[in-house]
Amino acid sequence: MKQRLSAQARRDKAARDLAFAKTPIRRAKKAHSQREARANPSDAKGKDYDHKRGEFVSVNSNRGNEGEGTKKESGNNYKHKYYS
């Protein structure tokens, strides 16, 4: 469901989202995900790369943290060899 935001709130959110997407850790994760997808196109079709598990999983599973929500994951509580 799309968020119903005022024009000013929508602009502010877009700026926050872009700033987060351009952080070094997010850029590294995106680049790694794209490399993995190019190397394994059949595995990646219709799926997202889960950096925690190190494999392609359904979008639903990845965004919802396997039904546990994302509260536990906030603050990068896990380390991955590609990003620190």
pTM: 0.71
How many independent structural domains does the chain possess?
1
pLDDT higher than threshold 70 for residue 59: yes
Q: For residue 30, give its domain range.
A: 7-63
Kindly state the average pLDDT of the residues 8-37.
Answer: 93
Residue 20 makes CB contacts below 8 A (sequence gap 6+) with 26
Q: Is residue 69 part of a domain?
A: no
Kindly state the average pLDDT of the residues 51-73.
Answer: 79
Q: For residue 78, what are its two tokens?
A: 């896990």
Q: Is residue 37 part of a domain?
A: yes
Q: Is residue 84 part of a domain?
A: no
Q: Is residue 77 part of a domain?
A: no
